Amino acid sequence: MTTVDTQQTLDYERLFLGGTWATPSTGDRIEVHSATTHERVGSVPEGREGDIDAAVAAARHAFDDPTGWAHFTPTQRGEALERFAKALEVRGAETARRVTVQNGMPTWLSQQWEQGFPPMLVRFFVDLVKQTQEEIRPGLLGKQTMVIRKPIGVVGQIVPWNVPQAITFLALAPALAAGCTVVLKPSPETVLDAFLLAEAAEEAGLPAGVVNVIPGGREVGAYLVSHPGVDKVSFTGSTAAGRKVAAACGELLRPVTLELGGKSAAVILDDADLDSQLEDFFGNTMINNGQVCWTSTRILVPSSRYDEITGTLADLYSGLTVGDPLDPATKVGPLVSERQRERVEGYIAVGKQEARLLVGGGRPHGIDQGWFVEPTVFADVDPKARIAQEEIFGPVLSIIRYEDEQQATQIANDSDYGLGGSVWTADSDRGEAFARTVRSGTFGVNGYANDPVAPFGGVKASGLGRELGPEGLAAFQEITTIYLDRPNA
């Protein structure tokens, strides 16, 4: 038994590494509190360098085993990962609940992203690996060459608190399907869901050392990134932290995938029928309480319809239900922590000096506890203003006026970031043409969705590499060329 139920709290006493629940190297603990009530809801051991050493050693042994995970056939790995997917599904509702309690994600969203997405991704990448064949190429020098794909090795994965399980499986699913072994470091704010993942791996009978879970802070993450036993790093987090991870991996010539920040634009064209798309527009701009890296937090509105559309948006965001994230009716829950609320409120104070406050700007009335901030919208925002250039990571939006499509493209591209974005129009062909003008790793027409079949990632300060799709699988594979003693057919 790995948990102790004391006054409805979840207290884990051991770490999951090497296929077993192991005694941590120290007695340090991570205390977990509800973002809504501030009540203590559980605790886990806080990993230290010694725990990372043990986890990497277990992952290294599992990967190097000549009869182990890396040498399973895709079908053998697929059978084990199907058991893993089923074990995740059994725990799905509880996983969603734990995420909502910890970080404030509305329950209707956690049931989609945190409950439904992980097993979907496991099965998708299992199927994708089975389709990957060795390739024979006729050579220009008269003989054939063979191209094969091998698992890259031990992966150190660091994930954030905002969408902890879905983001975990963006890398964990392809890594495991490819034959890699993983040391996962979840964020201290969201650890209880990560331990459910560990329980699912144990129940599925994944070989010892294939999945290891060591929660900890930044220092533990930095130690994992630079560990000599790690072959590849996957990091999701802030751009500032990503630069440090990139520097460390560059020094070591270690492959790294970085999914970082964003300040995306939602461009409303002059023919848009926004009234019929308000639910999708909300999901594109303020989903998960604004705590998503790809959301379009800059809203570009044409001058010809500026007052009309600004009024529509004021009605939309002022009418959102704010409250208990476990209530299915809630659209906006609390932020993850007091520290995060202070950060967001600091930007709101800046915005009040830079632009016209249209909606919100404070804490919701009648809610006395929880890290809540009102949905907040600024109008008449200068494209160069801080609130239009810097990632806020909360329910705060900036409305920017533009005169024509050329200027809209220029404003959309005038950002250090390039992760997401969207265009809203009654003419899908026009929308597709506009999408091609924006420098961003991903972009949506009349909506936005990270479909597993397509690569996801950013340009500029939004990151390096891609997740999802065949490109996301390739990130966890090494390509080897064998020059054959075989003439071209």
Q: Which amino acid is at 444?
A: G
Integer Cα distance of 236 and 161 in angstroms = 10
Q: What count of other Cβ atoms lies within 10 Å of the Cβ of residue 318? A: 13
Nearest to 101 by CA among 16, 164, 167, 168: 164
Catalytic residue among 114, 249, 293, 354: 293
| Region class of 290: left (phi > 0), else alpha (psi between -120 and 50), else beta | left
Distances (CA, A) of 222 to 130, 169, 243, 247: 34, 21, 12, 11
- CA dihedral of residues 434, 440, 444, 448 (deg, nearest 10): -160
Pair of tokens at residue 428: 């899908």
Q: Which amino acid is at 434?
A: F
Is 478 known to be catalytic? no
Q: Which amino acid is at 105?
A: M
Integer Cα distance of 224 and 233 in angstroms = 9
Taking CB atoms within 8 Å and a gap of at least 24, the contacts of 401-407 are 401/300, 401/301, 401/302, 401/303, 401/306, 402/300, 402/301, 402/302, 402/303, 403/302, 403/303, 405/269, 405/434, 405/437
> DSSP assignment, residue 68?
S
Give the chain's end-to-end CA distance (angstroms, integer). Answer: 60
Catalytic residue among 259, 345, 374, 391: 259
- DSSP labels for 373-411? ---EEEES--TTSHHHHS---SSEEEEEEESSHHHHHHH
Integer Cα distance of 370 and 393 in angstroms = 17
Which residues on neighbouring strands pair with residue 9, listed in sequence order? 6
Q: What count of other Cβ atoms lies within 10 Å of the Cβ of residue 356? A: 13
Nearest to 4 by CA among 35, 33, 38, 44: 44
Integer Cα distance of 426 and 461 in angstroms = 32
Integer Cα distance of 211 and 169 in angstroms = 12
Angle of CA points 444, 446, 450, to nearest 5°: 40
Q: Token pair 């060329």 is at which residue?
A: 481
CB-based contact 391:261 (threshold 8 Å) = yes
Is 249 known to be catalytic? no
Q: Which residues are catalytic?
A: 259, 293
